[in-house]
């Protein structure tokens, strides 16, 4: 049975936290020129992968601080699979792609490019192969509804880290956070690539659960517990009429409540959803 085309949206409330720092800008929360904050799609997919791992699913692209299988790289993880090693020798791209998709849920969802070499030095272009796997699940960069106010706090150290009696400067640097922002994540599931990758209904349920709990076990100094959380998720299943993705996402209207000029929390917003003709009612999870 072919999976329906699906679309999803998640609203993320950020209070005094850094949802996605920019290493090229002193790790400040990312902002567009108009002041609106954003979270990269790579960051969102990383957190979904972490939730998959917490669910006990096998994932290929594992963070260094979450390695539990002893493999320090993607290639080591693949080469540790005997079936993959045999497929690699045959250079059968379809077999390699099928095996990787069968094994790893994040590859079935987000695709991957598997670049392989035979380990021998040679000038021949035929020594290596590259296997491309298209993503069944695509996710857009998340953007805040309103411009965000970034607060920068100077932090200092209260102990001497130098040797002997020598004391270094008390200043350590700056810590940045978003005072408050409501971010919107948008994504979709393509049934064609889902079928090709073997992306299943169970995989889709895992994505739904991951979105609902996206920041569980993600606490850090930049994101203290309760400072960033998903407050609402919305899922649409394709119907008899194929609507453009923009038309579907635009059915969700997010506005300030009467009298609110500068929102300070999610409760300062009104969220309404229009139903499209010949399309099922969206599935709404209110988590707030």
Inside any domain, residue 104: no
Q: Kindly provide the b/e burial profile for residues 6-22, where b requires at least 16 CB atoms within 10 angstroms of the residue's own CB.
A: bbbbbbbbbbebbbbbe
To which residue do tokens 């049975």 refer?
1
Inside any domain, residue 80: no
Of 130, 101, 125, 127, nearest in space to 115 by CA: 130
CB neighbours (10 Å) of residue 232? 23
CA 55 centroid distance within chain: 16
Average of per-residue pLDDT across 90-103: 91
Of 11, 31, 32, nearest in space to 20 by CA: 31
- The answer to whether residues 97 and 136 touch, using CB atoms and an 8 Å cutoff, is no
Tokens of 269: 């917003």
Inside any domain, residue 69: no
CA 110 – CA 107 distance, rounded (Å): 5
Per-residue CA distances from 48 to 45, 55, 60, 115, 189 (Å) = 5, 11, 13, 23, 15
**Structure confidence at residue 21 as a pLDDT band (50, 70, 90):** very high
CA 229 – CA 208 distance, rounded (Å): 15
Which range, of 60-64, 78-82, 141-145, 282-286, averages the lowest pLDDT? Answer: 78-82
Inside any domain, residue 40: yes
Inside any domain, residue 99: no
Average of per-residue pLDDT across 213-240: 93
> Does the pLDDT at position 159 exceed 70?
no
pTM for the full predicted model: 0.90
> Does the pLDDT at position 167 exceed 60?
no
Average of per-residue pLDDT across 249-269: 97
> Does the pLDDT at position 90 exceed 60?
yes
Inside any domain, residue 220: yes
Residue 149: the pLDDT is 97
Of 205, 216, 212, nearest in space to 234 by CA: 212
Residue 154: the pLDDT is 86
Residue 118: the pLDDT is 61
> Does the pLDDT at position 123 exceed 80?
no
Q: Domain containing 154: what range?
A: 6-56+137-286
Inside any domain, residue 31: yes
Mean pLDDT of the chain: 90
Q: How many independent structural domains does the chain possess?
A: 1
Inside any domain, residue 92: no
């Amino acid at each position: 049975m072919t999976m329906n085309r699906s679309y999803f949206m998640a609203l993320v409330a950020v209070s005094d936290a850094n949802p996605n720092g920019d290493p090229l800008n002193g790790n400040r929360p990312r902002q567009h020129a108009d002041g609106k904050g954003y979270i990269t799609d790579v960051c969102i997919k990383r957190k979904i992968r972490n939730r998959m791992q917490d669910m006990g699913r096998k994932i290929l692209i594992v963070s260094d601080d979450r390695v539990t299988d002893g493999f320090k790289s993607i290639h080591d993880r693949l080469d540790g699979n005997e079936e993959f090693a045999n497929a690699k020798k045959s250079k059968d791209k379809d077999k390699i792609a099928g095996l990787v998709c069968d094994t790893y849920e994040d590859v079935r969802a987000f695709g991957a490019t598997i670049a392989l070499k035979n380990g021998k030095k040679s000038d021949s272009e035929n020594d290596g192969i590259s296997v491309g796997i298209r993503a069944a699940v695509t996710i857009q960069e998340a953007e805040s509804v309103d411009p965000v106010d970034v607060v920068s706090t100077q932090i200092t150290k209260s102990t001497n880290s130098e040797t002997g009696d020598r004391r270094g400067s008390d200043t350590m640097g700056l810590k940045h956070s978003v005072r408050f922002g409501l971010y919107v994540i948008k994504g979709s599931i393509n049934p064609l690539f889902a079928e090709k990758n073997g992306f299943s209904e169970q995989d889709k349920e895992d994505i739904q659960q991951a979105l609902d709990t996206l920041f569980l076990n993600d606490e850090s100094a930049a994101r203290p517990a309760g400072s960033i959380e998903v407050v609402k998720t919305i899922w649409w299943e394709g119907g008899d009429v194929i609507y453009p993705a923009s038309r579907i996402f635009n059915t969700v209207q997010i506005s300030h409540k009467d009298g609110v000029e500068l929102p300070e929390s999610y409760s300062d917003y009104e969220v309404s959803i229009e139903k499209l003709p010949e399309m099922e009612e969206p599935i709404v999870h209110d988590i707030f």
